[in-house]
Structure 1
């Protein structure tokens, strides 16, 4: 499984647009093959920062997701509305038994 984390900090005047675009992106991504989960959360310490947490079946599914034109448009839109740089980290993970 591939775990993706990312974040964007909106400018105060762009937060609602960033939030709207992010929710649309999450909803669209959840319909894609290989998407296990896809969510966006507001950071409790910085309410202008949105944090994304995603799980994908494998790198192939994630590559298809990144190739979707709407995904690229979403990233470009976020960058234009952000306070600073966006972040994106990928992790190769496997579930372990409960401790």
Structure 2
């Protein structure tokens, strides 16, 4: 499984638009092949930070996602609206819930 986390700083003048773009991006991404989960959240400790948590079946699914024009446009829009570039981190992960929780 691939886990992606990301965040972007909101600005007062673009806050509502950025949140709407994030929610639309997450909803659209959930419909893509290989997407297990894709969620957009406002950080409760820093309400000026929009966060993303994603789960994907494979590296190939992530590559296909990032190749879509809508995904590239989303990142470009966030870059243009935020005072700081978006942050993204991509991890290869193994689900060990059953090992730990029995």
- The TM-score range, normalised by the shorter chain, is over 0.9
Q: Provide the C-alpha distance between the structure 2 equivalents of 1:15 and 1:5, rounded to a whole number of angstroms.
A: 20
Q: What TM-score, normalized to structure 2?
A: 0.94
Q: Secondary structure at the match of 2:45?
A: coil
How far apart are residue 83 of structure 1 and its match? Answer: 2.3
Q: Secondary structure at the match of 1:12?
A: coil
Give the equivalent residue in structure 2 for 1:65: 65
- Equivalenced residue count is 99
How far apart are residue 85 of structure 1 and its match? Answer: 1.9
Q: Give the unaligned 5+ runs of structure 2.
A: none
Q: Provide the C-alpha distance between the structure 2 equivalents of 1:90 and 1:16, rounded to a whole number of angstroms.
A: 26
Q: Deviations over 1:49-84 (max 9, x none)?
A: 111000000000000000010000000000011121
Q: Provide the C-alpha distance between the structure 2 equivalents of 1:33 and 1:2, rounded to a whole number of angstroms.
A: 14
TM superposition outliers: structure 1 runs of 4+ over 2 Å: none
Q: What TM-score, normalized to structure 1?
A: 0.97
Give the equivalent residue in structure 2 for 1:79: 79
How far apart are residue 34 of structure 1 and its match? Answer: 0.1
Q: Give the unaligned 5+ runs of structure 1.
A: none
The correspondence of residues 24-35 of structure 1 with structure 2, limited to 5 A, is: 24-35=24-35
Q: Provide the C-alpha distance between the structure 1 equivalents of 2:20 and 2:71, rounded to a whole number of angstroms.
A: 14
